């Protein structure tokens, strides 16, 4: 075929291929509806006549137990509405380590509640970081970055892990012992340049919680020497003053503006005095995952079309509010309550009901509710955020 003919032939073939692709796409469009609305299809779990439960008693669940260490998880399996965020309550006994692993489908955000924890994490650029955490400290590991967690000292440690994917589960967790236990010794020998017999006595199944000596007080240097990353994975959270304070309570908040590596999770700790209320509000860009650290709360959720549901959560319970759903949190106990909240966004946004009303003129409000305009002069002129 002469050069010019060949060029025409290929140009023609390319056009034909493009036309064929367009035809297939058009057919798919016809079957599936307008593709611009694909992401707006109602979630069947949350679009029934009644709102489904949004509460799960996490600490009452059994989870995975090895020795005195455990991991209890809340995923879509335990709490079907929680598609955007999963969480785990983990306790490690002294000398225990959550082995080297990564999460293929989720980033990991965590806050320590009790004890001391040391972590190592590897980044794709070859840098690695070792950090130590006390209660109130936070870590963030981006999706797919390999890490381990170990208990420091002679007391057990307890922390809450938040994952930016409700379908996260152990099936999405890749452990180093599981991998090495299933690769052939010959392959491993070639990979690491050591004799194949090295791997004869390695674990054949996933270790999950490894158990050994209490780690050294001062961490040893990595095999490669210290190569620190540009962005740290650690944030000292609750040792800082609250983000906002009110007579009815206070809020600590950490998102990517103060903890730059945490691009997909925002963390909040809400403390409410008895009768304190985190007012009616919604989050335009994120789902909300709640864990009650201390106290008793009443959580209301509004889901359009007359659907309204209230759940009472106690210490160790988990709640979940899908993106855009109206909600409130009220302390119904006799003590100050503390709630850990995770959002699957690195940039926090909220619209509070008092703020929305304050953003409208009184005549609009009067018409909306068929009430006299002057009634609305008594309403707040800015957001209430936490009421009492
Ligand atoms: Mn992990
Ligand atoms: Mn909220």
Q: Which ligand is nearest to the CA of 162?
A: 1
- The predicted-structure confidence for 146-177, as pLDDT tens digits, reads as follows 999 999 999 999 999 999 999 988 667 999 99
Ligand 1 centre distance from Cα of residue 123 (Å) = 14
What DSSP string describes 292-352? EEESEEEEEEE-STT-EEEEEEETT-EEEE-TT-EEEEEE-SSS-EEEEEEES-SS---EE
How many angstroms is it from 147 CA to the middle of ligand 1?
6
Interval between CA 283 and ligand 2 midpoint (Å): 6
Yes or no: say if 102 and 174 are a contact pair by the CB < 8 Å rule. Answer: yes
Per DSSP, the three-state class of 360 is coil
SS3 368: helix
Give dist(CA 116, CA 214) in Å, integer: 12
- Domain boundaries defined on the chain: 55-235, 240-387
DSSP letter at 206 equals -
If one counts every other C-beta atom within 10 angstroms of the C-beta of residue 368, the result is 11
Across the chain, how many H-helices and E-strands are there? 5, 26
Strands (E), 240-317: 244-246, 249-254, 266-272, 277-282, 288-294, 296-302, 308-314
Residue 152 alpha carbon to ligand 1 centre in Å? 17
Q: Given 2.60.40.10, 3.40.630.10, 3.30.70.100, 2.60.120.10, which CATH number is that of 240-387? A: 2.60.120.10
Task: Look at residue 20 in the predicted model and tell me its pLDDT.
Answer: 47
Kindly state the tokens that stand for 127.
């840098």
End-to-end CA distance of the chain: 84
Q: If we measure between CA atoms, which residue out of 369, 354, 305 comes closest to residue 50?
A: 305
Q: How far is the CA of 202 from the centre of ligand 2 (A)?
A: 47
Specify whether the CB–CB gap between 299 and 319 falls below 8 A: yes
Assess contact for 183 and 122: CB atoms under 8 A.
Answer: no
Residue 283 DSSP class: -
Query: How far apart are the CA of 71 and the centre of ligand 2, in A?
Result: 26
pTM across the whole model: 0.90
Distance 148 CA to ligand 1 centre (A): 7
Provide the 3-class DSSP secondary structure of residue 45: helix
> In the block, which residue shows the tokens 């946004």?
349
Quick one: which ligand is closest to 101's CA? 1
Taking the centre of ligand 2 as the mean of its atom positions, its distance from the CA of residue 222, in whole angstroms, is 41
Q: What is the pLDDT of residue 16?
A: 47
Residues in the chain: 388
DSSP 21: H
Concatenate the DSSP letters of all residues of 139-191 into one string: EEE-TT--EEEEEESSS-EEEEEEES-TT-SGGGEEEHHHHHHHS-HHHHHHH
Query: What pLDDT score was predicted for residue 25?
Result: 46
The CA distance from 118 to 299, in Å, is: 34
| Ligand nearest to the CA of residue 119, numbered in listed order | 1
Measured from the alpha carbon of residue 290, the closest ligand is 2
pLDDT at residue number 9? 46
Pairwise CA distance, residues 269 & 246, whole Å: 14
Neighbours of ion ligand 2 (CB under 5 A): 288
CB atoms within 10 A of CB 33: 11
d(CA 124, CA 275): 48
pLDDT computed for residue 100 by the predictor: 98
Question: CA distances (Å), 246 to each of 210, 278, 387, in order?
Answer: 44, 11, 8
Place of tokens 């170990």: 150
Pick the CATH number of 55-235 from 3.30.565.10, 2.60.120.10, 2.40.160.60, 3.40.50.20: 2.60.120.10
pLDDT of residue 41: 84
What are the phi and psi torsion angles at 29 (to 5°)? -60, -45
- The distance from CA 40 to its chain's CA centroid, rounded to whole angstroms, is 22
Neighbouring CB atoms inside 10 A of 198's CB total 12
CA 310/CA 328 separation, integer angstroms:
9
Within its chain, how far is the Cα of 143 from the centroid? 11
pLDDT values of the chain reduced to their tens digit, one per residue, 388 residues:
444 454 454 444 444 444 444 444 444 444 555 666 667 888 899 999 999 999 999 999 999 999 999 999 999 999 999 999 999 999 999 999 999 999 999 999 999 999 999 999 999 999 999 999 999 999 999 999 999 999 999 999 999 999 999 998 866 799 999 999 999 999 999 999 999 999 999 999 999 999 999 999 999 999 999 999 999 999 999 999 999 999 999 999 999 999 999 999 999 999 999 999 999 999 999 999 999 999 999 999 999 999 999 999 999 999 999 999 999 999 999 999 999 999 999 999 999 999 999 999 999 999 999 999 999 999 999 999 999 9
Q: CA–CA separation, 299 vs 356, rounded Å?
A: 20
């Amino acid at each position: 075929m002469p050069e010019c003919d060949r060029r025409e032939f290929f140009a023609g073939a390319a056009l034909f291929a493009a036309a064929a692709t367009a035809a297939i796409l058009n057919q798919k469009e016809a079957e599936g509806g307008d593709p611009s609305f694909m992401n707006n299809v109602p979630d069947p779990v949350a679009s029934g006549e009644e709102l489904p439960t949004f509460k799960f008693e996490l600490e009452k669940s059994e989870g995975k137990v090895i020795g005195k260490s455990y991991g209890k998880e809340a995923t879509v399996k335990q709490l079907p509405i929680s598609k955007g965020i999963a969480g785990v309550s983990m306790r490690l006994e002294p000398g225990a380590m959550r082995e080297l692993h990564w999460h293929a489908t989720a980033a990991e955000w965590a806050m320590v509640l009790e004890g001391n924890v040391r972590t190592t994490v590897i980044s794709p650029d070859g840098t690695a970081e070792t950090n130590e955490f006390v209660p109130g400290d936070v870590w963030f590991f981006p999706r797919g970055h390999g890490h381990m967690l170990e208990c420091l000292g002679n007391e057990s440690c307890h922390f809450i892990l938040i994952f930016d994917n409700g379908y996260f589960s152990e099936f999405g967790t890749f452990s180093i012992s599981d991998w090495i236990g299933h690769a052939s010794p010959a392959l491993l020998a070639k990979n690491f340049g050591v004799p194949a017999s090295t791997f004869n006595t390695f674990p054949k199944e996933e270790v999950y919680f490894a158990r050994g000596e209490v780690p050294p007080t001062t961490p040893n240097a990595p095999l490669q020497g210290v190569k620190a990353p540009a962005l740290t994975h650690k944030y000292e959270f609750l040792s800082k003053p609250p983000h906002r304070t009110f007579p009815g309570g206070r809020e600590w908040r950490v998102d990517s503006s103060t903890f730059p590596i945490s691009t997909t999770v925002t963390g909040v700790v809400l403390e409410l005095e008895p009768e304190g209320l985190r007012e009616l509000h919604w989050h335009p860009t994120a789902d909300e995952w709640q864990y009650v650290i201390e106290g008793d709360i009443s959580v209301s959720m509004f889901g359009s079309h007359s659907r309204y549901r209230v759940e009472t959560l106690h210490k160790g319970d988990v709640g979940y509010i899908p993106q855009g759903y109206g909600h409130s949190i009220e302390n119904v106990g006799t003590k100050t309550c503390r709630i850990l909240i995770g959002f699957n966004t690195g940039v926090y946004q909220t619209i509070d009901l008092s703020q929305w009303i304050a953003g409208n003129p009184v005549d609009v409000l009067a018409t909306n509710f068929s009430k006299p305009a002057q009634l609305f002069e008594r309403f707040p002129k800015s957001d209430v955020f936490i009421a009492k």
